[in-house]
Amino acid sequence: MASLPPGADSDQLLIEANGSTRTLILNRPKQLNALSSSMIMGLLRCFTAYEKDDGVKVLIMKGKGRAFCAGGDVAAVVRDINNDTWKYGADFFRNEFLLNYIIATYSKPQVSLLAGIVMGGGAGVSLHGRFRVATENTFFAMPETALGLFPDIGASYFLSRLPGFYGEYVALAGARLDGAEMHACGLATHFVQLNRLPLLEESLKKVDTSNPFALCGIIDQFSHQPSLKENSSLNRLEMINKCFSKRTVEEIIYALEQETSNSADEWVAATIQSLKKASPTSLKISLRSIREGRTQTIGECLRREYRMVCHVMRGDFSRDFFEGCRAILLDKDRNPKWMPPRLEQVHDAAVEQYFSRINDPQWEDLNLPARRSHGRNVESKL
């Protein structure tokens, strides 16, 4: 193992050095590599130090155990807020979003090996990078609306750039995608069989270049075009576009209900059920977030999402985030009591509030450094 940049936590984040390649290993397998505050700070130090180090050409990121990363450790965030103040949560998300921004604008190629679970914050430390390698056991979701949150970590940037209105579907319904679906819609750049991943990793450790075309050529040697399963949601893109293009969440659900009267498709019923189980407040702010993200840069998306997440943690209009974490992550009764409980009770003025500055003299907008964008692409293979 290589020595970490000063201050990085060596237990939860491991570093391997091979020539000009650095491999960053998320190391909380029992917690499915959920990102702790110390992991985020360690990654920030690594990315900052390696960008300045001419001896480092490529970064590989992977997870220990059966997950790449199941998200940010929001249960710990909730405990910190309950024990003290919402500003502990603000610090966590500020550092996480800064890390997402640095990854999205990074001058050196990052190859993320997405074996196993990739959710929430795990998507934030991988999908903004240059190369995202899915496998047959990759499991992706942004499940935040079921937690009383919203797809953050810059998700309003990459989800809004998926084909048609697929991003609205993934965000609102918390849809689960497999590796082939990630590859087909553009969230993953490559698909490599799990048993070939170690061979790819060994090849990447031998490179001595930051040239993305050269690296792409290496990954291409191990990758192939996977087939979508017959029941894939991407085979329903026409219906998704028809329903999820509607202006409001209420209209989206109504359009889906109209489809159930036309067919006995179990997928439609399951999607409606997912939407009706989610936090009404989360659904409404998530839809607006994705829609705004379509015309914004990654920096603008993260700044707006930081405002939103601070409002969520303050709980001025709704405390659904705390109730969702209680029901899903802490007590695990999976029966959250949302307030307000119905979509029609979440008025436009309340939604608007989530996109405004925080009324607190000690609060500041997310301050991101000036960095050159390196043009990350979300390219559909459909």
- Rounded Cα distance between 377 and 247, Å, is 27
pLDDT at 76: 87
How high is the pLDDT of residue 170?
98
What does residue 25 show for φ and ψ, rounded to 5 degrees?
A: -115, 115
**C-alpha to C-alpha distance for 255 and 75, rounded to whole angstroms:** 35
pLDDT digits (tens, 9 = 90+) for 304-360: 999 999 999 999 899 999 999 999 988 999 999 999 999 999 999 999 999 999 999
Query: Average of pLDDT values for 199-228?
Result: 97
The band of 24, judged by pLDDT with boundaries at 50, 70 and 90, is very high
Q: Indicate the average pLDDT of the chain.
A: 94
| Alpha-carbon gap, residue 151 to 166, rounded angstroms | 14
Question: Residue 80: is its pLDDT beyond 90?
Answer: no
Contact assessment for residue 238 and residue 191, using Cβ atoms and an 8 Å cutoff: no
Confidence (pLDDT) at 128 = 97
pLDDT for res 6: 59
- The region of weakest confidence among 78-82, 146-150, 249-253 is 78-82
For the segment 212-237, the average pLDDT, to the nearest whole number, is 96
Give the residue from 59, 94, 79, 9 showing the smallest Cα distance to 308.
94
Residue 82's contacts (CB-CB under 8 Å, 6 or more residues apart) are 322
User: What pLDDT shows up at residue 75?
Assistant: 86
> Which residue, among 51, 46, 102, has the nearest Cα to 299 in the 3D structure?
102
Q: Give phi and psi for 257, each to the nearest 5.
A: -65, -35
The CA-atom distances, in angstroms, between 144 and each of 34, 207, 257, 285 are 14, 38, 23, 11
- Count other C-beta atoms under 10 Å from residue 365's C-beta: 12
Evaluate if residue 266 carries a pLDDT over 70.
yes
pLDDT digits (tens, 9 = 90+) for 238-261: 999 999 999 999 999 999 999 987
Q: How confident is the model at residue 102 (pLDDT cuts 50, 70, 90)?
A: very high
pTM, rounded to two decimals: 0.95
| Nearest to 284, CA basis, from 238, 332, 248, 244 | 248
- pLDDT in the model for residue 79: 86
- CA–CA distance, 241 with 108 (Å, rounded to integer): 36
Grade residue 262 by pLDDT with cuts at 50, 70 and 90: confident
- Number of Cα atoms under 13 Å in the Cβ half of residue 335: 1
Q: What DSSP character marks residue 189?
A: S
Q: Between the CA of residue 148 and those of 86, 165, 357, what are the distances in Å?
A: 16, 22, 20
Q: What is the pLDDT of residue 330?
A: 86
Mean pLDDT computed over 60-86? 91
CB 162, CB 187: distance < 8 Å: yes
pLDDT confidence tier of residue 223, bands split at 50, 70 and 90: very high
Is the pLDDT at 8 greater than 90? The verdict is: no
Determine the pLDDT at residue 374.
58
Q: Is the pLDDT at 7 greater than 60, yes or no?
A: no
Please say if the pLDDT value at position 375 is more than 70: no
As annotated, the active-site residues are 72, 121, 144, 152
